[in-house]
Amino acid sequence: MLRIDNLSAGYDRLEVLHAVSFSVERDAPTVMLGANGAGKTTLCRVITGLIPARDGGIFLDGANITRLDPSDRVKRGVALVPEGRQVFPDMTVRENLRLGAYVHGEPGPAEFDAVFAMFPILAERQNQRAGLLSGGEQQMLALARALMSRPRLLLLDEPSQGLAPKAVALVAETVNRIAAMGVAILLVEQNLILAEAVARHVVVLETGTCVADGSASEMLVSGAVEDSYLGKKRRH
């Protein structure tokens, strides 16, 4: 579905990702683990086209999208729920959702109904300014907004950040529902509780390099991942 092939990228003179390779399949939601500064957010930005790749390639269902601009990638079904949610704070919930569907024109009532069925809280708040929502509600809005673009591949950059455990559980449940709809998932996380709830496939990124890649059952159960790569103990 998504194949990352020897991808390098960075900012100015600083190279953050060094020849990263891995792939994401539709039936195996993938979690990328890595400590702060490992290059997880940079990876999300390169895949969506916010920063250019220096070397290597990004392939979506075999098509090379490495040089496409962000708008064309969205049209092909790449959506990102960015770090810190990044909703449009001075716009209403409904306007945020309209923007999610921007590349497809004005969304119809059926499209709104579909996301409101999945996120009832957003239906209640649809005419409120997004900036007034709680952190958990904003995360739901960011997810709903990404869904409005009819993604085939959904990237999520640390959606658990700043959320209460209950809200994290809701995010996990939602991501699993989206995966069940046939959307390929790449979740970038430090939170092992969320990672475990979602992952079938795990990739570990350390200082811009892929250092481990395997099925969730072999990588997460051993507990080796957090000891060696995240530098912290599992929290229960």
Binding site for other proteins (CB under 8 A): 12, 48-50, 69-71, 74-75, 79-80, 82, 86-91, 95, 98-100, 102-103, 106, 131, 133-135, 138, 145, 149
The answer to whether residues 7 and 177 touch, using CB atoms and an 8 Å cutoff, is no
Q: Which is nearer to other proteins, 151 or 208 (CB)?
A: 151
Q: Which is nearer to other proteins, 104 or 232 (CB)?
A: 104
Q: How far is the CB of 106 from other proteins (least distance, A)?
A: 7
Q: First and final CA of the chain: distance in angstroms?
A: 34
Cβ-Cβ contacts under 8 Å for 144 (sequence gap 6 or more): 97, 100, 115, 118, 119, 122
User: Distance between CA 7 and CA 18 in Å, rounded?
Assistant: 7
Q: How far is the CB of 26 from other proteins (least distance, A)?
A: 21
Angle between helices 109-118 and 93-100 (to 10 degrees): 110
Q: Which is nearer to other proteins, 157 or 226 (CB)?
A: 157
Q: Which is nearer to other proteins, 88 or 200 (CB)?
A: 88
Q: How far is the CB of 73 from other proteins (least distance, A)?
A: 8
Q: How far is the CB of 82 from other proteins (least distance, A)?
A: 6
Helices (H), 33-134: 40-48, 70-75, 93-100, 109-118, 120-124
